[in-house]
Amino acid sequence: MTEMYRQLSGGGRLSFGGDEFIFVELSEEMRIQQALTIQTLARTLTAMNLPGVTDVCPAHASYMIRYTPERVNLPELLATIQEVHEEMVTGRPATINTCIVDVPVYYNDPWTRETLMKFRDRHQDPSSTDIEYAARVNGFESIDELIAAHTRHPFLVTFMNFVPGNAESVQLVPRDLQIEVPKYKSPRTETPSRAVGHGGAFANIYPSAGAGGVQLLGRTPINVVDMAQTRADFRERPVLLPAGTLVSFRAISEAEYFDIRAAVEADEYRVRIADIEFSVGKHIEDWEGYNDELLEALQ
């Protein structure tokens, strides 16, 4: 057996995924600054349009590259990756040109509640609902407090995976303030489409109905994927929240949910999106003040 890992200067280990993939892990744990570095790294590598590279896919603590070996000089590609990697990991905090997206959520809604009640035997705490459990294990007095925390600061999409459009995001707050909740003991076989979930430290929105294993907090009336790209919000790309996007969750009432959903179905609702420049440096300096500044872009 040959050496399976190469240590990258700046920190991180590189290995090969068969003959077509390169996998780089910065560390085994989730860290906000590291996740931001990975986003800038992936954007830089993507923008380089490296010949023979078909995919640059950022994840929470790692990234993956797919290439066509016939079109690539592997030592040169590895040298390029090493160079960009080191620059991004050790260099000055970068700025990401991205956007912040307003995601209205009907928390503790009847559809996710009805679904999750069918699967209490797979849950850590069969006597409470997912959102009650999530509030309690995070030390909140009520589900309203949890909702306030969930909507107070924006999330950053750090990994789109599993199925198209499934954006896993992490809240841009220090670790001790992050909402953390275990996944189900055993996955559900049903989840309503557009359910807003939370598992580990990550929020997600189920693009469509299907199986799932994270706690369900609510449901959004807006679509996060349109593979056919026929709807106005999806003309440029089939997913609403690609990695690097900021998400601001906003609590809405049942009436608002139905109003927005009706507008979405008529393709008359436009998702509120604001272009922003996200400065990693500013976030390190004053995360709280900077988050407020970012949220203002949606006002």
Partner 1 sequence: MMHIIMPGLQTLVQDSGRDGYYALGMPPAGALDQRSYTLGNMLVGNDPRAASLEFAFMGPAIQFQSDTVIAVTGAEVTALIDGEPQPMWASVPIKKGQTLSFGPMTRGSRGYIALRGGVDVPKLLGSRSTYQTVQFGGHMGRALKPGDVLPIGTQIHSEDGHGDRIRELDPKYLPSLDSSADLAVVIGLANYRFTPESVQLFFEANFTVSHEANRTAYRLIGPALEFVERDVPFGAGSDPSNVVNLGYPLGSIQIPSGSEPICLLRDAVTGGGYVTFGTIISTDLDALAQLKTPDTVTFNSVSVTEAHAKRRHAHNELAQIAKSLEYPWVFGAEREETP
The residue ranges that bind partner 1 (CB under 8 A) are: 1-2, 4-5, 15-21, 23, 25, 27-31, 42, 46, 54-64, 66, 68-71, 74, 159-166, 168, 175, 182-183, 200-202, 207-208, 225, 227, 237-239, 242-243
Least distance to partner 1, CB of residue 234, Å = 12
> Least CB distance from residue 84 to partner 1, whole Å?
16
Residue whose CB is less far from partner 1, 158 or 248? 158
Closest distance of CB 238 from partner 1, Å: 7
* Range 30-35, long-range pairs (CB < 8 A, 24+ positions): 30/60, 30/61, 30/170, 30/200, 30/201, 31/61, 32/156, 32/170, 32/172, 32/174, 32/175, 33/280, 33/284, 34/61, 35/60, 35/61, 35/156, 35/158, 35/170
In whole angstroms, how close is the CB of 180 to partner 1 at the nearest point?
9
How many residues make up the chain in this entry?
299
Closest to partner 1 by CB, 195 or 297: 195
Residue appearing with tokens 């998400």: 247
Residue 198 near residue 146 (C-beta atoms within 8 A): no
**Is 251:293 a contact under the CB 8 Å cutoff?**
no
User: Measured between alpha carbons, how far is 61 from 83 in angstroms, rounded to an integer?
Assistant: 19
Distances in Å between the Cα of 146 and the Cα atoms of 140, 178, 212 are: 6, 11, 21
* Helix (H/G/I), strand (E/B), else coil: 44: helix
59: left (phi over 0), alpha (psi -120 to 50) or beta: beta
Residue among 10 and 200 whose Cβ is closer to partner 1: 200
64: amino acid identity, one letter: M
Identify which of residues 108 and 166 has a Cβ nearer to partner 1 in the complex: 166
- Least distance from C-beta 150 to partner 1, angstroms? 18
Query: At closest approach, how far in Å is the CB of 74 from partner 1?
Result: 8
Kindly state the DSSP code that residue 57 receives in the 8-state scheme: E
Considering beta carbons, is residue 143 or 157 the nearer one to partner 1?
A: 157
41 vs 297, beta carbon nearer partner 1: 41
